[in-house]
Chain A
């Protein structure tokens, strides 16, 4: 059996939404180089919707695939839905991750939450609406 599912390899080889949003409404960065994984998420939010999302990742195959999948799962969705994203949903959408790689999906979830927190800290009035 291969280390990773076809889905993981697909998202690793052809990551979706790679890059930077210069005028992002929220930016989140999690992980550290010491552990070998860093994920950075950029969000463009309009009318409480994730208009655009891009990521940059330093990390292993599953870290790159998890970032890619997480962006796909929230793109075009209402912010409230993005807030609900779980690492399990990311891992399941990738047809599973090896146990010792599950932390990659956790990082992806955290990176998105981190970016949303940044967005809310820039727009405290939005947080109240929630």
Chain B
């Protein structure tokens, strides 16, 4: 049995998405900028895909540009707001400590160029507080960028409240909604979102395709210069098959969203309850305000990569925020930001369930994690010191 519990990393393409893209690989492979019918057919499909996507997030077609994914959309949104701010002499940006690196590294670049960035704390539950935002706003603030849902711990931010504050103060609001779109309801109008990033491979579409929503009137900075595609805001022959598949995937995901999330959420909570029974473990992030599929735990006295390798042997695919899996010396910045110390953050496990997860799978995961954690603790000098009272339990 193989259980894919790493859907926050990427998802399997849906049948609908695969089937939608095939004709544009083999039949209508023309360049959408060409005038013969094969090209125009591709162009039509492109615009139809754009329409479909707008309906899923309550936007207008002219407000969507296709990108190579979430990272590019994040870069473009933030650099756009920064350029607009700079023109007005405003160089202050507000973000938070648990953003994806696509956002954080773009902000770092801007800091080097003279922008100042306030990183709002995500507190112990992994959720930004609106009052912290209100206090951080200055007359110099040109952008607020806060993610919709976190990719590691799944916490959902108070996006509508943040949008309302930004609208009232006349500050641009961008949200990285890569983990939200297709998983929880997203309405850019209702939440006063000015710019939003999404990525198809997180909602059963293909990898390397995403989009940026930018409210009418926002002049986007062009990151990729060249042809006039995407109304001049993103050069390069459009990835028509990928875009068509992305739209088909999102349409399907958005259509079954309520039903799927209700079902998956029950399984998520069952998984959380089961893992909680492992001694000296703790759930990361708010237990309720999290995406339906996300479970993230720390287990004291074990290291995440070892945990993952043994779970893989048992057929379970998951991920961890340990340094060993990130290829850096530090464990996940998200876990550190919510107050997990290094020692404990190394022992983290993220399980992100698929839409088709079953109760049997969840029970098998619980049993397997328990076995593996117990086994690794059995020869962990850290665990021995904890048990012998030489050091104090944190969890």
Chain A residues near B (Cβ < 8 Å): 9, 12-13, 15, 18-20, 29, 33-40, 55-61, 63-64, 100-101
Kindly provide the distance from the CB of A11 to the nearest chain B CB, expressed in whole angstroms: 12
Chain A residues near B331 (CB-CB < 8 A): 36
Residues of B within 8 A of A36 (CB): 303, 322-324, 331, 342, 346
Q: How many Å lie between the Cα of A57 and that of B327 in the bound state? A: 19
Partner of A15, one of B303, B343, B379, B383: B379
A-B contact list, 5 entries, CB within 8 Å: A36-B323, A38-B380, A58-B382, A59-B306, A60-B304
Determine the distance from Cα of A35 to Cα of B342 in the docked complex, in whole angstroms. 7
> Does B379 contact A56, Cβ atoms closer than 8 Å?
yes
B220 to chain A, nearest CB (A): 38
The yes or no answer to B329 lying at the interface (CB within 8 A) is: yes
Q: A34-B342, A36-B322 are in contact. Are A63 and B303 (CB under 8 A)?
A: yes
**Chain B at the A interface: mostly helix, strand, loop or mixed?**
helix
Within 8 Å by CB of B381, from A12, A13, A29, lies A29
Q: Is B259 an interface residue (CB 8 A)?
A: no
Q: Which chain B residues lie closer than 8 Å to A38 at the CB level?
A: 380-382
Additional A-B contacts beyond A33-B342, A58-B380, A60-B304 (9; CB < 8 A) = A18-B379, A29-B381, A33-B382, A35-B329, A38-B381, A40-B381, A58-B303, A58-B381, A58-B382
B99 at the interface (CB under 8 A from A): no
Shortest 4 CB-CB distances between A and B: which pairs? A60-B305, A60-B324, A33-B343, A36-B346
Chain B nearest CB: distance from A51 CB in Å? 20
**Given A60-B303, A61-B306 in contact, is the A33-B346 Cβ separation under 8 Å?**
yes
Q: Which residues from 352 to 392 on chain B have a C-beta closer than 8 Å to any C-beta of chain A? A: 379-384
In the complex, are the beta carbons of B309 and A58 less than 8 A apart? no
Question: Across the interface, which residues of A come within 8 angstroms of B384, CB to CB?
Answer: 20, 56
The answer to whether B313 has its CB under 8 Å from any CB of chain A is: yes
Return the chain B residue nearest A8 by Cβ.
B309
How far does the alpha carbon of A32 sit from the alpha carbon of B15 in the complex, in Å? 48
List of B residues within 8 angstroms of A40 by Cβ: 381
List, in ascending order, chain A residues with CB within 8 A of B302's CB: 58
Q: How many Å lie between the Cα of A9 and that of B305 in the bound state?
A: 13
Residues on B with C-beta less than 8 A from A19 are: 379
